[in-house]
Structure 1
Amino acid sequence: MKDIINKLYRNHSLIYKGILFVCTTFLIVYLFPKSGKFKYNFEKGKPWQSENLYAPFNFAIKKSDEEINKEKHDITANSTLYFDLDVLVEQKVNNLYKVSFYKTFNDSLSRKKMDVLYNVGQQVISELYEYGILNENYDYHPDRSVVLLDGRINVKEGIFDDLIKQDEVTTLIENVLVKNDLINYKTAYTSLFFDLIEPNLSYDKSFTESAIQEELNKITYARGRIEKETLIISKGEIIEGDKYQILKSLQSEYESQVWSKSNYKWILVAYTLLVALALLMLLLFLRKYRIEVFENNTKVTFIFFNIFLMIFITTLVVNYDSKFVYVVPICILPLIFKAFFDARLGLFSHVITVLLLGFIVPNSYEYMFLQIIAGIVTILTVSELYKRANLFISVGQITFIYIIAYFAFFVIHEGSIDTIKWEMFIWFILSGLATLFVQPLIYAYEKIFGLVSDVSLLELSDTNSKLLKELSNKAPGTFHHSLNVANLAEASANEIGANAMLVRVGALYHDIGKMKNPTYFTENQSTGINPHDELSSKESARIIVNHVIDGIEIAKKNNLPDRLIDFIRTHHGTSVVYYFYMEEKKNFPDISTEDFSYPGPKPFSKETAILMMCDSIEAASKSLKEPTSTKIDAFVENIIDKQIEQGQFLNANITFKEIQSIKKVLKHKLANIYHLRIEYPE
């Protein structure tokens, strides 16, 4: 049992990766659309490339979205409008009219004239309330059919033009008076009816919408049927018109039938195998070409999390409305991976993600082509993400590539640009703008996953930062030494293609531990007094060695990233404090090197190896007397060869060829520092 536990503990990193791999696979498969895949690929306006296709089963021909939308529009536009009729209003107006009429017209008129005027007034009321007066002005077509309801009982039917709007009342009164040759009484009648007339019709919105919905529910989504074994399309035949719609119907029916039958589990297994295969390729890539990333579970989790996040966001957008799929800024993915890792890993992960998204999005080939091309452009154009101008230029180029590629695909599909969907360009522009969100996202990831990007490195390289300012005040000699080492290390990293920004910042902070006892280091001894004279060799060596441990403590206290703390840990490797070791050996010849050695570990990357070389060269160069090119060459060769003999670079992925290149850079830089010139003959 104990052996099993020990074995599990030794392999806990691989076990974690296995669990992460399985969980990510199942989560992605869960997001996939619940349907099978039609085995034929076809495009409208293109020839049918496969063999003659016969109907594998009976299925209905589905109407196109345009046909269904047109039917819905026609039903909505031509539906009957329903108005509530208040039947009591007309009776109320008639009763008031009998009283108000005789108050308006004086008794001097003859009885016959009064009767004529009275009857004309009743005629006005009758015409006004034949259908009714609207309570407000509605903007509907005059020929739209209407129904008047009294408590949901159909009272009268007509058209909207029959209904009287409030601003039409005066016109109707005038028309009746003209017809009866009583236009001279217009003012009297207008004054009379101004206070009498009330609207008696109000629009019943809920009943109208209910009636429309009832009609919409009656729409059939199919227009015909194809029997089994019927020839659908022949090889080479152009896919257009009804042929295209029949193929789309077969595709939809096939996918729904395949998924709903007993092979549901088999389809799930197939999806799982494909997703697992894609993610396995990513893990194998990391194991073969990025072993330092593969061995770091946090980084592997970070990569898998971002791939899943992009698939999750895209799935949400597709489920909401697939036309917005290009708004999702997929190009953020290679940007993030390039910021934290490198371009090759960023591009490989991007391609894997886009291949998985092909199962989710419509027009998968077109989508994958656009996104892979955009990802390549992203990787090629963004060289230094911490420079804001570079990001904006790259976003502009990505958007331009999207537009060009979409335009080309559209012309291929449709054969012209007459019906091009210009709003798609808006989605591409929005996607480009959303890509700018990468900056705050990188900051968030640095805090969550403890990673460090070039953006943070640029901030940390500022010599006015709190920690470096403290170093310059407490240990000015060490600060100057760190600046020189940073310059040497940056030049060396550029020569062999290492991360120059990372090694420069690592060099600036590698000796911050010397702030604790600055006067015990020669570069800070400005008074000529050496405190080591009062200490034993062992005590002096311990103080010198402890600057590494003190530096780690200070770095952690100031929340420096682990990638920078690695430079503090490794810049002396497991080397010996040689001067004090030899001093002690004079008195004790059999003394062990253990008390005089740095704790390590040895450098384990190109960048940490570069720092060890540059630190040793810069520190020792102060002892050069009357330097010449020959002396400097021998000096550099001797120090670095000694480090190689001690095995300090065994754990670093640096080659002898790269070490030779670094030597050349250091020789050239030291020659410039000491202002060496060609010796002219006398």
Structure 2
Amino acid sequence: MIRFDNANTHHHGRWLVYTALVVVTVALIVSFLPRNSGPQFRYDVGKPWMYSSLIAKFDFPIYKTEETIKEEQDSITDAFEPYYNYDAKVEQEQVKRFIDNYKDGIPGLPAEYVSTIADRLHRLYLAGVMDALEYSKISRDTTSMIRIVSGKKATSVEIMCTYSTMTAYEQLFSDPKLAAQRQILQRCNLNEYIQPNIIYDEERSEGELGDMLSGIPLASGMVLSGQKIIDRGEIVDDYTYRVLNSFERETKRRSASASAVPSTIAGQVLFVGTLILLFTTYLRLFRKDYLDKPRSIAMLYVMITVFPILVSLMITHNVLSVYILPFAIAPIFIRVFVDSRTAFTAHVTMVLICAAAVKYQYEFIIVQLVAGFIAIYSLRELSQRAEIFKTALLVTLGSSGIYFALQLMQDNSILTMDHSMYAYFAVNGVLLLFAYPLMLVIEKTFGFISNVTLIELSNTNKKLLRSLSEVAPGTFQHSVMVGNLAAEIANKIGAKSQLVRTGALYHDIGKMKNSVYFTENQMGGINPLDALPRIDAAQVVISHVTDGLKMAERYNLPGVIKDFIKTHHGTGKTKYFYISYKNEHPDEPVDDTLFTYPGPDPFTREQAVLMMADTVEAAARSLKEYTEESISNLVNKLIDQQVEDGFFRTCPITFHDIAVAKQVLIERLKAIYHTRTSYPELNKKGKEEQQTQPASQYASSKKQDCADKRHEKP
């Protein structure tokens, strides 16, 4: 009864956790979804209206497009005349300063030159002199006008009628009389007496320009209540497009009330919640074992949550296009780390949720579903860079192809189609290449292991495996052989061959600590275990499992590799020492735990395959004769004993898988040890006949026998 209650408590606790996970997922997604109120229509200029007749339910203005408003603003800005204040004091100060400096005349020139230059300066200041940098900006358009304010009067003047400090200096020497004496006058530094006397009035200019821009009407026309906007099948032109935009804009403004927002949120919660519950139901019905794997569940719900949030942020803040997001990364990771059916279901759920945030939902759903299908079908195992490149290329081509097909169905002319989307698909394909480095992030975050990591771990040049080959060469060769046998079995039964091959390389690393105690590493036929008591000898052999786990911890091996170290002997016994001890102490009770491996028993098909291959490969070395019969008997006896001992009771391996494993092991061991067919022996009568044969006939028979042997199969 207590165990039953504990099981119920565990069951209810687990479902409370998953219920909370669903609630949190829905809350996160809905909190980021944009609050679109009012009807959502899909329409483009030059394409037919796909909905029923649209009648205005209220009066609303026909708003101008942003481009039109921008053009009007630019036009007003270009025609605007900025204000400049005329400062008469500048002329008075500079001219007076010049006259005072040269009251005795300019050396080398007649006295009237002082009054001539003063008159020319007066004319320049009368036209107006402005700062050279400011003048260069405004004079790019020679027709530009400015307003010069003098007292209460503002006069419009062409910019070319005024001077900058530099052009005023040059204008001074345009007088032939002064130009003739330019060399002497340059010593006077006349440019020091030319200073800006028209100053930009920033406050007045910007204030008036702002008033003019704010006065631009945002609408150009009205639509009255009851007026037909567009009918089904009519082509959307530029004017109708503006009317439809204005209708949506006004509808959104009218719907933005206190009651509309909760209504929108309620709809989004219902929509997202339904899809998440359907996905959870799929897991409950068809992938029930995943509910006991927190890391798998966490990755699935994170993948479904991340992309709707990204789409919502891009739509809300109007950042680029959602089509650049590599949605196919989600089904790729789920396909690699979980399975293809779950990848398909999760991708459909994610795309449908994302569609709630976008405007062109039909187009978005079709394109993303096709991209996801291609990713799932084209990438079975992400183990090489070339594979992800091929998938990215196929996804890009597939997305472009299906979008082109949708355009053909809606537009008769290829020339008028929107080609900007294909650039987004290209960017999407490039971003999809990041699935390769991101896979490491997924592994570290959720505790998975990919084929890329397994291939890296199976590199025999890695420090741990290189040490194994040096310290325990026999164990290393045994591990390689077991890996090859187990990988072939895994391929035949549909298990993960790369995983079991890598696990096999590391399953006996604990033997490095006491390598000479294991027969495969012994030289000269001397076994140190023979000198130890049976219990101590058993403990030395058993310790290679615990020692292996310590080494795995020290070298940060993944958990799935540690599982192979723990389960390759399961909870079996060191039978040689156990039976020997019982024979030596027939009347004493035996503590079985002293001869039993710590386990646990295999709980995956790959672990079961490794146990079978490890046991058979090790035992095959002790056969006295390698014939088909002896190998078959050995394989069947050992594996049947493992089944009988219950080692595979907690493992999802089938009897068919075990039968296939037996057949593979028999065939591979026959090939490894080159078994031959036993030759029949002559009976007594045959021997007598052979002895009575003539010499020539005997020689011929011997030649034929040699020929037969040359053509025998090895």
Q: Does the C-alpha gap of structure 1 residues 585 and 222 become closer, same or farther in structure 2, counting only changes over 3 Å? A: farther
Letter in 1 for 2:143: D
Equivalent in the alignment of 2:220: 223
Contact 2:443–2:450 under 8 Å retained in 1: yes
Partner of 2:105: 103
How far the C-alpha of 1:349 sits from its partner, in A, is 2.6
SS at match of 2:350: helix
Q: Distance in 2 between matches of 1:625 and 1:150?
A: 121
Conserved? CA contact 1:173–1:190, under 8 Å: no
Distance 1:57 1:585, change over 3 A: farther
Other-structure match for 2:54:
53
Range moving further from structure 2, 579-588 or 463-472: 579-588
Aligned to 1:644: 643
Post-superposition offset of 1:187:
6.7
Give the alignment of 1:625-640 within 5 angstroms.
625-640=624-639
- Where does 1:399-414 land on structure 2 (aligned, <5 Å)? 399-404=396-401
Distance in 2 of aligned mates of 1:425 and 1:254: 33
CA offsets, 1:227-265, max 9 Å, x none? 333222222222222222222333333345445352433
In structure 1, distance between residues paired with 2:23 and 2:570: 39
Question: What whole-Å deviation, never above 9, does each CA across 1:387-444 have from its counterpart, x for those lacking one?
Answer: 2233334334444445555566567666656677776555544444333433443323
User: Cα 1:675–1:145, aligned 2, differ >3 Å: closer, same or farther?
Assistant: farther
The separation in 1 between residues aligned to 2:397 and 2:206, in whole angstroms, is 45
Q: How does 1:589-604 map to 2 (within 5 A)?
A: 595-604=594-603
Pick the aligned partner of 1:365 from 341, 345, 362.
Answer: 362
Question: What is the one-letter code of the residue matched to 1:144?
Answer: S
**Native 8 Å contact 2:40 2:359 kept in 1:** no
1:550 counterpart residue number = 547
Match of 1:196 in 2: 193
Aligned partners of 2:510 and 2:551 also within 8 Å: yes
Equivalence for 2:683: none
Report the counterpart of residue 565 of structure 1 in structure 2. 562
Measured at CA, do residues 314 and 48 of structure 1 come closer, stay the same or move farther in structure 2, by a change above 3 Å?
A: closer
Q: Deviations over 1:194-231 (max 9, x none)?
A: 44222334556676555544444344433333333322
- Confirm whether residue 520 of structure 1 aligns to residue 517 of structure 2: yes
Q: 1:94–1:125: 8 Å Cα contact kept in structure 2? A: yes
Task: Provide the C-alpha distance between the structure 1 equivalents of 2:321 and 2:482, rounded to a whole number of angstroms.
Answer: 52
2:418 and 2:124 map into 1 onto residues whose CA distance is 52
Question: 1:478 touches 1:514 (CA, 8 Å); kept in 2?
Answer: yes
Aligned match for 2:456, one of 454, 459, 478 = 459
In 2, Cα distance between equivalents of 1:380 and 1:103: 97
Match of 1:508 in 2: 505
In structure 2, give the amino acid aligned to 1:103. G
One-letter code of the match for 2:504? Answer: A
Alignment-derived partner of residue 247 in structure 2: 250
Q: Is the 8 A contact 1:334 1:379 kept in 2?
A: yes
Q: 1:581 to 1:215 in 2, by over 3 A?
A: farther
Shift of 1:479: 1.7
Residues 503, 607 of structure 1: 8 Å contact kept:
yes
Contact persistence 1:322–1:362 (CA under 8 A): no
Q: Which amino acid aligns with 2:622?
A: S
Alpha carbons 2:95, 2:121 under 8 Å: kept: no
Matched-pair contact (CA < 8 Å) for 2:489–2:609: yes
1:472 to 464, 469, 478: 469
Question: Which deviates the most, 507-516 or 395-404?
Answer: 395-404
The one-letter amino acid of 1:143's match is T
Residues 417, 46 of structure 1: alpha-carbon distance in 2 compared, 3 angstrom cutoff: closer
CA distance in 1, matches of 2:88, 2:330: 68
For residues 546 and 521 of structure 1, what CA distance do their matches in structure 2 show? 12
Equivalent residue, structure 2, for 1:157: 156
Q: Is the 8 A contact 1:35 1:258 kept in 2?
A: no
* 1:571/1:603 contact within 8 Å kept: yes
Q: TM-score, normalised by structure 1?
A: 0.86
**Shift in alpha-carbon separation, 1:260–1:619, aligned structure 2, 3 A:** farther
- Percent identity between the two aligned chains: 33
Larger Rg over CA atoms: 2
Distance in 2 between residues matched to 1:335 and 1:45, nearest whole Å: 38
- The aligned residue for residue 326 of structure 1 is 323
Using the alignment, how far apart are the partners of 2:630 and 2:372 within structure 1? Answer: 50
In structure 2, distance between residues paired with 1:420 and 1:199: 56
**In structure 2, do the counterparts of structure 1 residues 124 and 89 end up closer, same or farther at CA, with 3 Å as the change threshold?**
closer
Residue in 2 that maps onto 1:577: 574
Distance in 2 (alpha carbons) for counterparts of 1:188 and 1:594: 118
Query: Match for 1:468: what amino acid?
Result: L
Aligned counterpart, 2:705:
none
Q: Aligned residue for 1:38?
A: 39
Using structure 2 for the length normalisation, give the TM-score: 0.83
Counterpart of 2:375 (choices 378, 392, 404) is 378
CA contact (8 A) 1:64 1:245 kept: yes
- Equivalences for 1:280-359 in 2 at 5 Å? 280-359=277-356
Query: SS at 2:193's partner residue?
Result: coil
3-state SS in 2 of match to 1:103: coil
Q: Could you tell me how far 1:641 is from its partner in structure 2?
A: 3.0
Alpha carbons 2:371, 2:399 under 8 Å: kept = yes
Number of the residue aligned with 1:663: 662
SS at match of 1:573: coil
> Which shows bigger deviation, 594-603 or 17-26?
594-603
Distance 1:154 1:386 in 2: 81
Q: Aligned to 1:233, which of 223, 230, 234?
A: 230
| 8 Å CA contact retained: 1:147, 1:154 | no
Corresponding residue number in structure 1 for 2:698: none
Structure 2 match to 1:146: 146
Secondary structure of the 1:11 match is: helix
Distance 1:171 1:593 in 2: 113
Q: Note closer, same or farther for the CA distance 1:150–1:223 as it changes in structure 2 (3 Å cut).
A: same
C-alpha distance in structure 2 between counterparts of 1:87 and 1:679, whole Å:
127
Say which SS state the counterpart of residue 626 (structure 2) adopts.
coil
1:652: how far off?
A: 2.7
Counterpart contact for 2:83–2:200, Cα < 8 Å: yes
* Secondary structure at 1:575 match in 2: coil
**1:595 offset after TM fit, Å?**
5.0
Q: Contact (CA 8 Å) 1:461, 1:505: kept in 2 or not?
A: yes
Q: Is the 8 A contact 2:37 2:260 kept in 1?
A: no
Bigger shift: residues 118-127 or 518-527: 118-127
The count of aligned residue pairs is 672
2:385 corresponds to which of 383, 388, 405: 388
Bigger mean CA offset, 612-621 vs 313-322: 313-322
Alpha-carbon separation, structure 2, partners of 1:375 and 1:675: 49
1:90 is matched with 91
Is the CA contact 2:324–2:424 (under 8 Å) kept in the aligned structure 1?
A: yes
Alpha-carbon offset, residue 282 of structure 1: 3.0
Structure 1 residues 503 and 203, CA gap change in structure 2 (3 angstroms)? farther
- State how far apart, in whole Å, the 1-side matches of 2:442 and 2:483 are: 27
Equivalent pair of 1:134/1:163 in contact (CA under 8 Å): no
Question: Is this contact kept in 2: 1:133–1:164, CA < 8 A?
Answer: yes
Q: What is the Cα deviation at residue 19 of structure 1?
A: 1.2
The secondary structure found in structure 1 opposite 2:96 is helix
Asked whether the 8 Å contact 2:336–2:380 carries over to 1, the reply is: no
Shifted more, 288-297 versus 603-612: the winner is 288-297
Instruction: Specify the alignment match of 2:685 in structure 1.
Output: none
Distance 2:119 2:411 in 1: 66
Q: Which residue of 1 aligns with 2:620?
A: 621
SS in structure 1 at match of 2:137:
coil
Structure 1 match to 2:684? none
Q: In the alignment, which residue of structure 1 is the partner of 2:691?
A: none
Instruction: Check the 8 A contact 2:129/2:162 in 1, yes or no.
Output: yes
Residue 495 of structure 2, aligned match among 494, 498, 502? 498
Distance 1:163 1:306, change over 3 A: farther
Q: Deviations over 1:503-542 (max 9, x none)?
A: 1111111122333333333223324233333444444444
CA contact (8 A) 1:577 1:596 kept: yes
1:484 Cα offset (Å): 0.7
